Amino acid sequence: MRALVIGFLILGISNSLIAQNYESIFGSDSTQWNITMGNLWGTGTDQHTVIKDTTINGFNYKVIDGYSINGFQGYLREDTIQGKAWYRNNQDTTEFLIMDLQLSVGDSMFVGGNWNLQPGYYFVDSVYVSNNRKHIRFDFELFFMNNTKFTLIEGISSNLGFRYQDIDYINNFNPELLCSYKNEIQEYGIGQCIISGLNEISNKEIINVYPNPFRDNIIIDISQWKNEIIKYDIINSAGKTLKSRAVNNSKINIENLNHYKNGTYFIILRDKHGNVINSKKIIKVTNNKYH
C-alpha cells in the first residue's frame, strides 16, 4: 500500500512538472486592448480596459469596459494551465472560447462573430513561437488585414483582439487588434494604436452606392464627401478582392459586372494610409423585378 501511495505521489509530481503555465492575457496592475470599431461613417478605436473582478456562475471574470455602445460590458476569464480563455458580454448569456493554446496542426476551432461572413470551424496550419509567445495560426485569411491569417497569441488574445466571437459586435465591422498593453507597457502592435473615427459626420448619406441591388454596373457617388478617398475595393462574400481601383472622380461608374455571380458583395473605400473609411453592402441580382 505504501508503495502504491508513493507511486501516486510521484505520478502527481510528474504531472505537475509537465503541466505548462501559459502567460496570462492580463497584467498584474492594468490591461488594455485597442481594437478597431466601426459604423457606417468610418473606423474608430475602442480602448478596452479591465476595471474590476466579478463572479458569474461560480467562475471568476475580469470586467472589461470601453465599448462604444452605452451600457455594454464584457467579461473575460482564463485558465493559464490549459492556455484557454473565454469571453461573454452583459447582453447575452453565451460564453465563447477565444483561446486554446493546446491546439496542434490539424486541430480546429470555431470562429464566429457577426462580422464573419463564413463562420465555422477553421484548422490550425502552423504552431510557432515569436517574441517568446506561442502562436496558433489558422487557415483563415483576413482580407481586411492584407490576408494575414487569424492567429491566437499567448499573453495577448488574438490578432483580432478578444471580441472576434462577439455576436453583438457593432455594425458587423471587422475587428482588428491594433495594440495591447499590460501594466502600461505596450506588448503588441508596432503601428497606429488609435484610429480617429468619423463621428463628427452627420447622418446624411454623403456617400451613395447605387443601384442596389445591381446587375451590370455600380455607381459610387462621393461628390458630397469632403475628405480624401484614394481607392475602392470590391470584395465578395468569401473575402476575396475582385476589383481594386484608384479614385479619380467624384462619381465612379464601375461597369461590366454582369459576370459576377448573384449574392452579396462589399464596396470598401480607403484613405491614403489604407485605412477603411467606409463600406457598403451591395447585392447582385439578375431578376428585373429589382430594377
Render pLDDT for 95-113 as a digit per residue (tens, 0 to 9): 999 999 999 999 999 999 8
Give 32's pLDDT tier (boundaries 50, 70, 90): very high
Report how far residue 274's alpha carbon sits from residue 65's, in angstroms, rounded to the nearest whole number: 28
b/e for 79-109, b at 16 or more Cβ within 10 A? ebeebbbbbbbeeeeebbebbbbebeeeeeb
CA distance readout (Å), 79 to 101, 104, 149, 154: 10, 18, 25, 12
Q: Residue 197: pLDDT above 80?
A: no
Give 59's pLDDT tier (boundaries 50, 70, 90): very high
Q: Residue 206: pLDDT above 50?
A: yes
Q: Residue 158: pLDDT above 60?
A: yes
How much is the pTM? 0.65
Render pLDDT for 230-253 as a digit per residue (tens, 0 to 9): 788 887 765 677 888 888 778 889
Local structure of 10: helix, strand or coil = helix
Provide mean pLDDT across the span 49-78. Answer: 91
CATH topology of domain 208-290: Immunoglobulin-like (2.60.40)
Report how far residue 110's alpha carbon sits from residue 249's, in angstroms, rounded to the nearest whole number: 42
In the prediction, which pLDDT does 202 show?
Answer: 38
In the prediction, which pLDDT does 227 show?
Answer: 66
User: Omega of the bond prior to 175 within 30 degrees of 0, cis?
Assistant: no
- Per domain, the residue ranges of the chain are 31-188, 208-290
Q: Higher pLDDT residue, 287 or 65?
A: 65
Give 278's pLDDT tier (boundaries 50, 70, 90): confident
Q: Residue 11: pLDDT above 60?
A: no
Amino acid type, 223: S
Q: Higher pLDDT residue, 2 or 236?
A: 236
Among the residue ranges 45-49, 103-107, 259-263, 279-283, the one predicted with the least confidence is 279-283
Q: Higher pLDDT residue, 85 or 178?
A: 85
